[in-house]
Amino acid sequence: MIIKNIALAGHAGTGKTTLLEALLYQGGCVERMGSVAAGTTVSDAAPEEIKRHSSVYTATGSIMLDGQKINLLDTPGMFDFAGGMVQGISAADCVMITVSGKSGVRVGTKKAYRAAEGKPRMFVVTKLDDENANFYNVLTELKSAFGPSVCPVVVPVIADRKVDSYINLIEMKAYRYDKDGKAQEIPMPTSEVSEKLSYRVDGLIQAFSEAIAETDEELFEKFFSGEEFTQKERVDGIHKGMRDGTITPVACVSAQMLEGVDLLCKEMELLVPEASDEITALNQNGEEVVLHQSPEEPVCVQVYQTLADPYVGKLSMMRVISGTLKAGAELVNSKTGATEKLNKLFFLCGKKQTETAVAEAGDLVAATKLSANTGDTLCDSSRVVSLPRSSFPTPCYSMAVRPAARGDEAKVAAAIQKILEEDQTLSYQQNPATNEMILSGLGEQHLSAVISKLKADFGVDVVLSVPKIAYRETIRKKVKVQGKYKKQSGGHGQYGDVWIEFEPYPSEELVFEEKVFGGAVPRNFFPAVEKGLQESYTKGVLAGFPVVGVKAILVDGSYHPVDSSEMSFKTAASLAYKEGMKQAEPTLLEPVGLMSVTVPDECTGDIMGDLNKRRGRVLGMNSVEDQGMTFISAEVPLREMADYALQLRQMTQGEGTFSMAFARYEQLPANLVAEVIASASE
């Protein structure tokens, strides 16, 4: 059986979920079409998706077309859930990019196109029933954005600003739909439409034929001699062009009205190439091994998605790369070396699970309760290999998280750990400088969805807050101070007296030295002096932040042969520290990060201005070749970056990306010191 895996990707709101629903209905998998607005679609079945009226996770469905099994993966379009798009595209043989007939090419269109690089791609212009839709404007935008490879294969005939019919350029036939979405063949448009429209259709046919001619020398000669292509030649030409990237077909639909959906099914059946029969992996020695999509080869599968279900447990979505996968199979995880037993296998259609005994090479299947994670390769023990892992967007938006109820820390950590298994764009770790637990994702909506899932699926409430900035304190000049502790309360008293020099020193830890002459302080009390300083060093005198960059030198002191003790010298050192820090011009240091930003060329000026407002220093700029993007390297204080992920997305319409890593500490400007001290005392 021929199996094809097609991912639906594109900008949010372009109708991916509605299109999947229409395809499932056309393929007879559902009795009636669901609605995104009503929350009744097959793929947007999670509570968070129903609430948002938008996809949050990648969902799978399948249809049968003339003996071919077509697995369809509905991926999220919102940038905050880009990890789902990566998962879906990684499992696909072809990527179908939806483009709204009303809004045209958007940032999400370009991102999906780039994410699908190396795979056959096609565009589907959707929502043609919208009164403001304009297919031909969108087609012009596609050609402008993605070059001459864009080739229409299904086009609408427009009359009185409405779609009158659809032309399938592969068949060279035209169809008109009734109110129930049933197609009826009609004559190809000539006299029944305007002269301008007839010319446009003729021009599209000419451009379509030219694109096919470019794929093969024999076809080019036939086109040049004026002969028409047969339907098989058209199909073969598109096939070859999609495989080598020289043709990106464009179809069009009104999924809500079921218009053009049957034609799209024909295109998926005829035009979309089957998966490549050769996939390269690495064996345990790091040598390349070629896997074939054949039932005779040893089994090899890759986990492309993990779902955390509080009732079922971990659900692992896998693609069968080679061999025939059977329920009960025991496979080796090439990453961990552990053996995984796949007790039961399921085909998914949204949340519906259908148990199966076998899954053929090329198919998508699910298994429960595996320890494997997304990206892991599971193999027959006779041939252990590792497949390339997908690259996911790096978390860029962080918030501090704490349980709403005391004592729930362990419960929250366990729940988040399960969510981390399914979401590769999420991180959760403790900031050692502030002791806060930091949850990082791709944006505000991303973290909001995680918090909702924690409550709905795992019964834990958490509170988010802006992370604290890990300030430090240090000194700016050298001082010499005395610390003297004397206490008499009957019997033995307490006496410790030290003179200590404090000076700036390039070190994270306190550097302690002693230069005492003549036994003014006995050597056996040196450790007590150092201990008193180290314990005091954890808090500065301005706002209680940890101290860095200080060297303490014990230079003098005095002792009492009876009343002196380790405790008295430890206390004396502490007193000297507090006084010394006050006199040595203490100041605050703030963390500064090294940031890399990639933005569209036309946004460069705005981004530079915004970085200046954030007290940033631009270190360099470079043009990203052939992408119309600029790479900017800068240093920016971390306190200015809390909302940067959201601001950058707004300023670049979601096309800009950035990463940031801690670089060093620098002195906080004097005009901000009072504000930080006041905040720390609250």
Q: φ and ψ at 242, to 5 degrees? A: -65, -40
Q: CA–CA distance from 16 to each of 12, 73, 77, 92, 266 (Å)?
A: 8, 10, 8, 15, 18
Whole-angstrom distance, CA of residue 116 vs CA of residue 171: 28
Question: Tokens 């790096």 identify what position?
Answer: 394
CATH number of the domain bearing residue 348 = 2.40.30.10
CATH number of the domain bearing residue 87 = 3.40.50.300
Whole-angstrom distance, CA of residue 631 vs CA of residue 623: 6
Nearest to 193 by CA among 242, 157, 149, 168: 157
pLDDT confidence of residue 97 = 97
Question: Tokens 């864009």 identify what position?
Answer: 150
- Asked if residue 356 and residue 220 are part of one domain, the reply reads no
Q: How many domains is the chain partitioned into structurally?
A: 5
Q: What is the H or E stretch that residue 445 is in?
A: helix 444-458
| Residue where one domain finishes, among candidates 564, 584, 604 | 584
pLDDT confidence of residue 432 = 87
For strands 377-379 and 329-333, give the pairing: antiparallel
Q: CA–CA distance from 31 to each of 21, 24, 347 (Å)?
A: 11, 9, 19
In a domain, 391, yes or no: no
Q: How does pLDDT run across 161-179, given as a tens digit for each residue?
A: 888 899 998 888 999 999 8
On whether the CB atoms of residues 318 and 360 are closer than 8 A, the answer is no
pTM for this structure? 0.87
- Asked if residue 247 and residue 203 are part of one domain, the reply reads yes
- Asked if residue 645 and residue 542 are part of one domain, the reply reads no
- Asked if residue 168 and residue 20 are part of one domain, the reply reads yes
Nearest to 581 by CA among 533, 518, 515: 533
Range list of β-strands (E), 169-299: 173-177, 183-186, 248-252, 278-283, 288-292
Whole-angstrom distance, CA of residue 58 vs CA of residue 53: 14
In a domain, 392, yes or no: no
On whether the CB atoms of residues 377 and 407 are closer than 8 A, the answer is no
In a domain, 236, yes or no: yes
| Residue where one domain finishes, among candidates 448, 465, 482 | 465
- Asked if residue 546 and residue 676 are part of one domain, the reply reads no
The boundaries of the domain holding residue 329 are 278-386
In a domain, 17, yes or no: yes
Tokens at 503, concatenated: 């000076």
pLDDT confidence of residue 491 = 64
- Using the 8-state DSSP alphabet, how is residue 297 labeled? S
Whole-angstrom distance, CA of residue 301 vs CA of residue 325: 8
- Asked if residue 379 and residue 406 are part of one domain, the reply reads no
- Asked if residue 128 and residue 149 are part of one domain, the reply reads yes
Residues of the chain with pLDDT under 50: 191, 194-196, 198-199
Q: How does pLDDT run across 353-377, given as a tens digit for each residue?
A: 999 999 999 999 999 989 999 999 9
Helix, strand or coil, per DSSP, at residue 162? strand
- Asked if residue 259 and residue 170 are part of one domain, the reply reads yes
In a domain, 75, yes or no: yes
- Asked if residue 142 and residue 43 are part of one domain, the reply reads yes
pLDDT confidence of residue 194 = 45
Whole-angstrom distance, CA of residue 175 vs CA of residue 93: 29
- Asked if residue 67 and residue 213 are part of one domain, the reply reads yes
Question: What are the beta bridge partners of residue 94?
Answer: 6
- The amino acid present at 139, given as its one-letter code, is L
Q: φ and ψ at 192, to 5 degrees? A: -75, -10
pLDDT confidence of residue 190 = 64
| Residue where one domain finishes, among candidates 356, 386, 416 | 386
User: 672: which residues sit within 8 A by CB, 6+ positions away?
Assistant: none
pLDDT confidence of residue 627 = 76
- Asked if residue 594 and residue 580 are part of one domain, the reply reads no
- Asked if residue 233 and residue 143 are part of one domain, the reply reads yes
Whole-angstrom distance, CA of residue 611 vs CA of residue 292: 50
